[in-house]
């Protein structure tokens, strides 16, 4: 059984790929040298689509670069990751990164100088189709594709940017909306499409009726379908009951406010988390203190369980929270 990870641009994963309905529109747009924004809910297969596109273009001998820009802090980090993807192996010794800019002793004059230098390196790279996985990086994407769009338009690259639906209002607001020639939306999958996906990923002895139940219960999400099938095969739980329990946790958390609902949805994706997790703080856009407050709020309502985790080396133990799912 293959887990719910995205597929990669390798031959081993080729047989696992089931083209979503948005696949052909994306291919046509790239063939016509258009800049494309790909939108879809979390878990619908955006990263797998980009990786498959990377493989197809590489097989056609078209220059292509993939930049993992999920949950980046700012436009400097975003531009740095794109620069590194275009200059494989990554540019050696280049100090023009967000980290260098933040150092108090940095000789750099300001963010604009750093960004201009990074964009210069991007523009000097061989013309390529640049695939950017920008989920949970909406502000940085707006800064690059909105405020810096005139610079990018003058460069020889074509762009495919993948975003979550929730990022659209921020990442693609004017003037960024004009940079992309077309927007392709990844719709929820049908039950038949999910059955085909699970048939390719599941072990041969997986019962067809369990595969069908997981596909039906997943409500159009490939990630949820794989998760439900794995849980059913390992723990013997009914797929619909498991997914209903997850949905109920999000609904109950959302009753405490939108931030609490967002935290629960993220916690269900990660399995466990701590207020000290900097990546979680960035994803939700909250401080450690606020995150700790939200976790306590969920715990008070019985929606999460807390455990104390001790570090291997020196340091204080930390609280780790898990969603209160049926065991």
What range defines the domain where residue 108 resides? 11-185
- Res 286: pLDDT: 84
| Contact by Cβ (8 Å): 154, 123 | yes
| Contact by Cβ (8 Å): 135, 46 | yes
169 in any annotated domain: yes
Q: How far apart are CA 91 and CA 124, in angstroms?
A: 12
Average pLDDT, the chain: 87
Angle, CA of 106, 139 and 34, to the nearest 5°: 110
DSSP 3-state of 158? strand
pLDDT over 60 at 210, yes or no: yes
| Contact by Cβ (8 Å): 268, 250 | yes
49 in any annotated domain: yes
Asked if omega into 168 is within 30° of 0 (cis), the reply is no
> β-strands 129-133, 64-68: how paired?
parallel
Q: How far apart are CA 209 and CA 214, in angstroms?
A: 9
Nearest to 194 by CA among 13, 312, 44, 37: 44
Nearest to 137 by CA among 157, 166, 174: 166
CATH number of the domain within which 177 lies? 3.40.50.300
pLDDT over 60 at 91, yes or no: no
pLDDT over 90 at 112, yes or no: no
- Res 149: pLDDT: 94
85 in any annotated domain: yes
pLDDT over 80 at 39, yes or no: yes
- Res 312: pLDDT: 57
Q: How far apart are CA 232 and CA 1, in angstroms?
A: 12
253 in any annotated domain: no
Question: How does pLDDT run across 248-288, given as a tens digit for each residue?
Answer: 898 899 998 888 988 998 898 888 899 998 878 877 878 89
Question: How does pLDDT run across 295-322, given as a tens digit for each residue?
Answer: 999 999 999 999 887 765 566 788 899 9
Domain count within the chain: 1
Report which of residues 119 and 113 the model is more confident about: 119
pLDDT over 60 at 105, yes or no: no
DSSP 3-state of 306? strand
Q: How far apart are CA 158 and CA 173, in angstroms?
A: 20
52 in any annotated domain: yes
163 in any annotated domain: yes
Against a cut of 0.75, is the pTM above it? Answer: yes
Going from the C-alpha of 237 to that of each of 218, 282, 325, 327, the distances in angstroms are: 14, 34, 12, 9
Percent of the chain past pLDDT 90, that is, above it, reads: 56
277 in any annotated domain: no
Q: Give the pLDDT band of residue 134 (cuts 50, 70, 90).
A: very high
> β-strands 158-164, 129-133: how paired?
parallel
């Amino acid at each position: 059984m293959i887990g719910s990870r995205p597929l990669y641009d390798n031959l081993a994963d080729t047989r696992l790929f089931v083209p979503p309905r948005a696949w052909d529109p994306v291919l046509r747009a790239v063939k016509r040298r258009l800049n494309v924004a790909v939108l879809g809910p979390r878990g619908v297969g955006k990263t797998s689509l980009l990786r498959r596109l990377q493989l197809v273009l590489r097989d056609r001998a078209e220059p292509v670069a993939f930049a993992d820009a999920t949950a980046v802090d700012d436009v400097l980090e975003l531009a740095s990751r794109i620069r590194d993807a275009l200059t494989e192996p990554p540019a050696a010794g280049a100090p023009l990164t967000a980290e260098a800019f933040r150092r108090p002793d940095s000789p750099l004059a300001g963010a604009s100088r750093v960004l201009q230098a990074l964009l210069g390196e991007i523009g000097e790279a061989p013309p390529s189709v640049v695939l950017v996985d920008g989920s949970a990086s909406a502000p940085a994407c707006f800064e690059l594709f909105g405020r810096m769009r005139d610079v990018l338009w003058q460069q020889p690259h074509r762009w495919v940017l993948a975003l979550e639906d929730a990022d659209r209002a921020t990442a693609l607001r004017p003037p960024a909306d004009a940079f992309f020639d077309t927007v392709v939306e990844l719709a929820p999958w049908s039950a038949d499409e999910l059955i085909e996906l699970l048939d390719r990923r599941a072990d041969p002895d997986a019962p067809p009726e369990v595969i069908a139940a997981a596909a039906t219960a997943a409500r159009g999400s490939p990630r949820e379908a794989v998760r439900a099938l794995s849980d059913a095969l390992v723990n013997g739980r009914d797929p619909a009951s498991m997914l209903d329990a997850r949905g109920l946790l999000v609904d109950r958390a959302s009753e405490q406010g939108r931030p609490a609902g967002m935290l629960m949805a993220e916690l269900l994706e990660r399995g466990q988390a701590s207020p000290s997790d900097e990546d979680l703080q960035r994803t939700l856009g909250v401080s450690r203190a606020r995150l700790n407050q939200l976790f306590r709020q969920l715990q008070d309502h019985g929606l999460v369980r807390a455990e104390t985790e001790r570090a291997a080396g020196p340091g204080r133990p930390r609280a780790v929270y898990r969603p209160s799912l049926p065991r």
